[in-house]
Amino acid sequence: MAEAPKEILERVKKLREAINHYRYLYHVEDREEIPESARDALMHELALLEEQYPELVTSNSPTQRIAGAPLPEFKKIKHSIAQWSFNDVFTEEEFRAFDARVQKGVTGSFGKQAQATYAIELKIDGLKIVFTYKNGVLETAATRGDGRVGEDVTQNIRTIQSVPLVLNEPVDIVVEGEVWMGKKALQELNRRREKDGEAVFANPRNAAAGTIRQLDSKIVASRKLDTFIYDIAHISGHIPDTQIEELEYLKKLGFKVSKDAVQVADSNGVIAFWKAWHTKKDRQDYLIDGIVAKVNERAYQELLGYTGKAPRFAIAFKFPAEQVTTVVEEIALQIGRTGILTPVAHLKPVSVGGVVVSRATLHNEDQINRLDVRIGDTVVIQRAGDVIPEVVQVVPELRPEHSKPYRFPKKVSECGGDGSVERVPGMSAWRCVNRTGPAEQRRRFYHFVGKHAFDIEGIGPRTIDLLMDEGLLTNYADIFTLTEGDVEGLEGFAELASKNLIEGIQARKKISLDRFIIALSIPQVGEETARDLSAHFRTLERVRGASIKELQSIEGVGDIVALSLHDWFRNKEHVEQLEQLLKEVVVEKGERRQVGAFSGQTFVLTGTLSALSREEAGAKIRERGGSVSGSVSKKTSYVVAGSDPGSKYDTAQKLGVHILSEKDFLSLLKT
């Protein structure tokens, strides 16, 4: 077994410290400094690392215990049945892996014909309560606490109208359920608190937890809490044979049970339910953060049993979070059309809101300073309401040692001129002093994605402008690292349009050498020169390494073009940009010039051709081994003149170059 690297050990240590800190604030003090979905993301990352390096698992790891401790204001109650929490999964693949473990366990003991089905319930985001009834009468109600000892909140629970004080059957039973506050009730409560000058609750879950811990039960009664009961932990009689029958029995006893629980045959049914409720959840009055899938058959549940902290027969299948944590890998500056500089965090790709994102806006210098965002930081990002993700919070406990605050640079080369930047008076924004630089940069991007270069379907000038204005494009490589989540929610980019855009980009990650050279916008280098370079050198490495003399020796490459090529590939900024781009795309080997009737001959096309376009004419010349140049010289073999020829015709006459009419040219093609 491989020993965990030092950086993994340090990451695990910092994750545990952060999780313990935030879980204590949330479960013990009812304070939320980062959202629950972000805490879930930290816990999930830790669980994956411990799965990869089992030797790092310790008994006091947050993954091995249930958080929370009883508050001193309430009497403590020792649970008669240990309280478990569910393990979480976040993706279809993770759920199918869970299902595979379940089915393997079932068939191993009951035979190959055995098949576990699932009971699915909504995962309500509230406060878990354990209810104990003696002879059908409510005796105690306690919070989960640390799983062994909870807080006695019986008097407060008795005020909730949906909690039966006496059951319909005189049974001894311990049941578990969720206490929650509806969205409408929260709005009403917060209106009253604002009127009274009190702090409002951030969400219904916090409001429910804070209400249950009130010492005055009259306050609890006024806040309209509700419940859903979902499990029998212990009963003096017979427990039903399936989970669905158990829910029906709980309803029969008088408990409020979710009407949306269903039984499905397999994992496909679970995933379909999960997808359906992801779109329906926001229409409910209560908060839903996922579903819970339980093996329906009681016999299979007992066979599968429990781990140290959770049942093996059940799993919480969380919905994609709108706030998660990830790591800032770089902070780049994007130039808008007016020269305004927008800082953008390049992130370790992460799923948020159901899509993968790799960038998030930092807005401006003041926002960076307020959050103190640094390269290497673990941050909370948000993608609420289908908008471009933004960084909303830093998790300082996970900050790398020796990190430095981000400072805006004094110069930005993409601004053009000497690259100078200035802070806009009275604003938090910086901008380029030279305003022509941004326009040139946009034109280079238009050319890069255009028909004669990468030819990316679905990206034109309007899309480039939109992506640049949103801070998503800083250099060419950024195009190929875009994800659906980076663009979904932009004007004109709903889910399908975003998917099509990214598919169009990914389809162009392999490109011919001549098109790649064309895409780079090297001064003086046109399409024909790019084709000549491709045919002569055949690899990008040889083009990059060519001397001025080697370049000058190529037909169609003069002194000015050779110098421009040589200098471009030795410019530090261009080298860095090129290296980034080559990490994302594959440049194919150039093809040798074909041998044919036109081998060694150079053609220049001028005027309008009626029988075929210039592109078609050029293609036919190259098919026969010839080359096409954009200018006339003594080395030119033929000038093909259509109607209204320009100055190239006159130059050919002066130099004595053979001139072909379109009719002559078509006849030559037939030879």
Q: Are residues 546 and 422 in the same domain?
A: no
Q: Are residues 314 and 325 in the same domain?
A: no
Q: For 99-109, what is each residue's pLDDT tens digit?
A: 999 999 999 99
Q: For 234-253, what is each residue's pLDDT tens digit?
A: 999 889 999 999 999 999 99
Cα–Cα dist 327/564, whole Å: 40
Domain with 557 in it: what CATH number? 1.10.150.20
In this structure, what token pair is assigned to residue 272? 């379909």
Q: Are residues 342 and 194 in the same domain?
A: no
Cα–Cα dist 640/638, whole Å: 6
Q: Are residues 169 and 120 in the same domain?
A: yes
Query: Which of 477, 507, 537 represents a domain boundary (last residue)?
Result: 507
393, pLDDT greater than 80? yes
Cα–Cα dist 56/62, whole Å: 12
Domain with 22 in it: what CATH number? 1.10.287.610
Q: Is there a contact between 158 and 174 (Cβ–Cβ < 8 Å)?
A: no
Domain with 263 in it: what CATH number? 3.30.470.30
In this structure, what token pair is assigned to residue 110? 């009951």
Q: What is the mean pLDDT of the chain?
A: 87
Mean pLDDT computed over 285-306:
93
Q: Is there a contact between 128 and 178 (Cβ–Cβ < 8 Å)?
A: yes
Q: Are residues 172 and 215 in the same domain?
A: yes
User: Under DSSP, is residue 311 helix (H, G, I), strand (E, B) or coil?
Assistant: strand
Name which of 233, 230, 254, 257 is nearest 164 in CA terms: 254
Q: Are residues 484 and 518 in the same domain?
A: no
Q: Are residues 486 and 540 in the same domain?
A: no
Q: Are residues 135 and 200 in the same domain?
A: yes
The CB-based long-range contact list for 572-579 (8 Å cut-off, 24+ gap) reads: 573/413, 574/520, 577/475, 577/476, 577/477, 578/520, 578/544
* Cα torsion angle, 599, 605, 610, 615, sign: positive
CA atoms lying within 13 Å on the CB side of residue 100: 6
Answer whether residue 648 is part of any domain. Answer: yes
Answer whether residue 78 is part of any domain. Answer: no
Q: For 260-285, what is each residue's pLDDT tens digit?
A: 999 999 999 999 999 999 888 888 88
Q: Is there a contact between 359 and 486 (Cβ–Cβ < 8 Å)?
A: yes
Q: Are residues 420 and 467 in the same domain?
A: yes
Range from 29-43, 337-351, 370-384 that averages highest in pLDDT: 370-384
Q: Are residues 393 and 537 in the same domain?
A: no
Cα–Cα dist 85/64, whole Å: 10
User: Under DSSP, is residue 643 helix (H, G, I), strand (E, B) or coil?
Assistant: strand
Answer whether residue 495 is part of any domain. Answer: yes
DSSP codes joined into one string, 33-92: SS-HHHHHHHHHHHHHHHHH-GGG--TTSGGGS------TTS-EEE-SSPPP---EE-SH
Q: For 423-463, what is each residue's pLDDT tens digit?
A: 887 778 888 887 667 777 888 898 899 888 999 988 888 88
Mean pLDDT computed over 318-340:
83
Supply the pLDDT for residue 67: 45
The position carrying tokens 């993409």 is 414
Domain with 651 in it: what CATH number? 3.40.50.10190
Q: Which residues contact 304 (CB under 8 A, 6 or more apart)?
A: 102, 105, 106, 295, 311, 312, 313
Answer whether residue 548 is part of any domain. Answer: yes
Name which of 615, 621, 620, 617 is nearest 599 in CA terms: 621
DSSP codes joined into one string, 565-577: HHHHTT-HHHHHH
Q: Are residues 486 and 558 in the same domain?
A: no
Q: For 574-585, what is each residue's pLDDT tens digit?
A: 898 899 999 999
- Pairing mode of beta strands 173-181, 127-134: antiparallel
**Residue range(s) defining the domain that contains residue 664:** 602-670
Mean pLDDT computed over 399-408:
91
630, pLDDT greater than 50? yes
Q: Is there a contact between 379 and 394 (Cβ–Cβ < 8 Å)?
A: yes
**Residue scoring higher pLDDT (334 or 116):** 116
Supply the pLDDT for residue 293: 97
Cα–Cα dist 359/470, whole Å: 10
What type of residue sits at position 513? L
Supply the pLDDT for residue 585: 92
Supply the pLDDT for residue 496: 81
Q: What are the angstrom distances between the C-alpha of 474 and each of 234, 247, 508?
A: 61, 55, 19
Q: Name the burial class of residue 243, with classes exposed (0-12), middle (13-18) and buried (19+) by CB atoms within 10 angstroms of its CB.
A: buried
DSSP codes joined into one string, 513-579: HHHHHHHTT-TT--HHHHHHHHHHH-SHHHHHH--HHHHHTSTT--HHHHHHHHHHTT-HHHHHHHH
Range from 12-16, 218-222, 430-434 that averages highest in pLDDT: 12-16
User: What 8-state DSSP symbol labels residue 196?
Assistant: T
Supply the pLDDT for residue 338: 65
Cα–chain center distance at 667: 58
Q: Is there a contact between 575 and 569 (Cβ–Cβ < 8 Å)?
A: yes
In percent, the amount of the chain with pLDDT more than 70 equals: 95
Q: Which residues contact 489 (CB under 8 A, 6 or more apart)?
A: 383, 385, 386, 387, 388
64, pLDDT greater than 80? no
Q: Is there a contact between 38 and 380 (Cβ–Cβ < 8 Å)?
A: yes
Give catalytic residue positions: 123
In degrees, rounded to 5, the angle at the alpha carbon of residue 71 between the alpha carbons of residues 69 and 77 is 75
Cα–Cα dist 491/473, whole Å: 16
Answer whether residue 75 is part of any domain. Answer: no
Beta strand residue intervals within 374-511, DSSP E: 378-382, 390-394, 421-423, 430-432, 510-511
Q: What are the angstrom distances between the C-alpha of 231 and each of 10, 139, 325, 571?
A: 39, 17, 32, 68
Q: What are the angstrom distances between the C-alpha of 81 and each of 132, 147, 346, 460?
A: 10, 9, 48, 63
Supply the pLDDT for residue 305: 92
User: What 8-state DSSP symbol labels residue 181?
Assistant: E
Supply the pLDDT for residue 321: 73
Answer whether residue 596 is part of any domain. Answer: no
Q: For 465-522, what is each residue's pLDDT tens digit?
A: 888 888 888 889 999 999 888 888 787 787 788 888 999 999 999 999 999 999 998 8
pTM of the model: 0.58
Mean pLDDT computed over 549-567:
84
Supply the pLDDT for residue 327: 95
Query: Which of 318, 334, 365 represents a domain boundary (last residue)?
Result: 318
Q: Which residues contact 413 (CB under 8 A, 6 or more apart)?
A: 419, 573
Answer whether residue 613 is part of any domain. Answer: yes
Supply the pLDDT for residue 29: 63
Query: Which of 301, 318, 335 represents a domain boundary (last residue)?
Result: 318
**Residue scoring higher pLDDT (594 or 21):** 21
Cα–Cα dist 549/402, whole Å: 48
In this structure, what token pair is assigned to residue 575? 């080298």
Confidence tier at 386 by pLDDT (50, 70, 90): very low
Q: Are residues 495 and 386 in the same domain?
A: yes
In this structure, what token pair is assigned to residue 20? 């313990």
What's the structural domain count of the chain? Answer: 5
Cα–Cα dist 141/75, whole Å: 11
Answer whether residue 76 is part of any domain. Answer: no
Q: How many CB atoms within 10 Å of residue 236?
A: 12
Supply the pLDDT for residue 261: 94
User: Under DSSP, is residue 395 helix (H, G, I), strand (E, B) or coil?
Assistant: coil
Confidence tier at 205 by pLDDT (50, 70, 90): confident
User: What 8-state DSSP symbol labels residue 316?
Assistant: E
